[in-house]
């Protein structure tokens, strides 16, 4: 296998910075009272070096790459159980879609056919959960995924760059052997506790589809720049179609970053709808600390993570603004 292919197929991006080891994560590791730290996807051994530095006398690494000096094990099939251990790892990340796009699917097909996940990191979590305790650095998109999260103790969003060779937005999950309610799972950004997972899940905006709206319709009246720019003053926003600095003729059915939306609305109400939608979006982002918006590669100039607004949430926001402008007739109970 060529070096570049191997790097992609095995997800060989090593964790070179320690910003992931926030105080509450260290506390969690200590609370496990494990005597061995295990990295089933050990790579350059950087996480095991951290484990040593925080006091683990015994460390065990596995990897599938024979050119590394670890015991060979295919940890996406199974991880040897080590008594009284905690897993500390950063597994490979690779979506089914990008494996196909990069022409390396044949290298990883054997994993995708065994599971229903669309990214290898999720299969890695499933295997690691066979251990009682673990800390895993994984893509932040995990938060918006449907992967069951009941075993988690916390999710920590890390905005600082952990890697030299990829900007994939990541978070750290800590898990133990107990099943929990989502209200018992803590969400942190760096070292700041934002709330619990249940609280954030209840804030999700779900579209009612009760108002006609067509996304990616170049002749529509409202444009949406659905991604934060690197300038904190130019966040995701709704605007009139003629205000967007983009040739809307290029918008395709698959456009996910910039769109134009067609609605049934009188021309004189468009400005108000845009203003209200932007206010609702700002309010939602503030209250949810951006936890529910998809992470986007590359931070803003102020170090915060850029975000993308998915079209379901955008639709829900536009629907709420629309209903504020066109209130439904009151239904009176005549009994």
Ligand X SMILES: C[S@@+](CC[C@H](N)C(=O)[O-])C[C@H]1O[C@@H](n2cnc3c(N)ncnc32)[C@H](O)[C@@H]1O
307 Cβ contact list (under 8 Å, min separation 6): 227, 228, 236, 285, 290, 293, 294, 295, 296
Smallest gap from Cβ 123 to ligand X, in A, equals: 9
Nearer to ligand X, 62 or 311 (CB): 62
**Residue 172: count of CB within 10 angstroms of its CB:** 25
Smallest gap from Cβ 277 to ligand X, in A, equals: 39
Smallest gap from Cβ 272 to ligand X, in A, equals: 48
Nearer to ligand X, 31 or 49 (CB): 49
Contact 119, 96 (CB under 8 A): yes
Q: Which residue of the chain is nearest ligand X when measured via CB?
A: 43
Nearer to ligand X, 62 or 142 (CB): 62
Nearer to ligand X, 48 or 261 (CB): 48
Smallest gap from Cβ 120 to ligand X, in A, equals: 7
Smallest gap from Cβ 11 to ligand X, in A, equals: 5
Nearer to ligand X, 75 or 259 (CB): 75
Smallest gap from Cβ 74 to ligand X, in A, equals: 5
Applying CB under 6 A, the residues found at the interface with ligand X are: 10-15, 39, 41-44, 46-47, 62-65, 73-76, 89-92
Nearer to ligand X, 111 or 238 (CB): 111
Nearer to ligand X, 91 or 220 (CB): 91
Integer Cα distance of 10 and 257 in angstroms: 29
Question: How is residue 94 written in tokens?
Answer: 């690779």
Q: What is the DSSP string of 236-295?
A: SEEEEGGGSSS-GGG--TT--SEEEEEE---GGGHHHHHHHHHHHHHHHHHHTTTTTSEE
Integer Cα distance of 292 and 188 in angstroms: 13
Smallest gap from Cβ 18 to ligand X, in A, equals: 11
Integer Cα distance of 273 and 25 in angstroms: 43
The packing angle between helices 120-128 and 105-112, to 10°, is: 40
Integer Cα distance of 249 and 312 in angstroms: 23
Backbone phi, psi, residue 143, to 5°: -60, -40
């Amino acid at each position: 296998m060529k070096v570049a292919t191997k790097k992609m197929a095995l997800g060989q991006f090593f964790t070179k910075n320690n910003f992931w080891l926030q105080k509450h994560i260290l506390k969690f590791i200590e609370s496990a009272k494990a005597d061995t730290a295990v990295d089933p996807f050990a790579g350059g051994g950087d996480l095991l070096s951290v484990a040593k530095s925080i006091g683990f006398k015994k460390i065990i690494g596995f990897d599938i790459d024979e050119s590394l000096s670890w015991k060979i094990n295919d940890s996406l099939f199974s991880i040897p159980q080590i008594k009284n251990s905690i897993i500390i790892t950063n597994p490979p990340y690779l979506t089914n879609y990008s494996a196909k796009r990069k022409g390396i699917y044949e290298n990883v097909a054997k994993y995708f056919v065994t599971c229903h996940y669309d990214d290898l990191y999720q299969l890695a979590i499933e295997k690691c959960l066979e251990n009682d305790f673990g800390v895993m650095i994984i893509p932040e998109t995990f938060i918006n995924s449907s992967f069951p999260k009941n075993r988690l103790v916390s999710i920590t969003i890390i905005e600082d760059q952990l890697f030299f060779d990829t900007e994939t937005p990541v978070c750290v999950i800590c898990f133990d052997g107990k099943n929990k309610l989502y209200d018992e799972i803590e969400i942190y950004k760096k070292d700041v506790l934002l709330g619990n997972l249940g609280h954030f899940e209840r804030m999700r905006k779900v579209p009612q589809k009760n108002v006609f709206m067509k996304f990616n319709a170049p002749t529509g009246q409202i444009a949406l720049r659905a991604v934060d720019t690197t300038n904190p003053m130019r966040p995701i926003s709704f605007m009139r179609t003629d205000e967007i600095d983009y040739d809307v003729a290029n918008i395709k059915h698959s456009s996910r970053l910039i769109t134009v939306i067609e609605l049934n609305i009188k021309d004189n109400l468009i400005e108000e709808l845009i203003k209200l939608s932007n206010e609702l979006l700002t309010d939602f982002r503030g209250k949810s600390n951006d936890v529910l918006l998809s992470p986007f590669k590359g931070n803003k100039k102020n170090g915060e993570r850029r975000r993308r607004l998915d079209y379901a949430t955008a639709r829900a926001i536009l629907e709420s603004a629309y209903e504020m402008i066109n209130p439904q007739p009151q239904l009176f109970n005549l009994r």
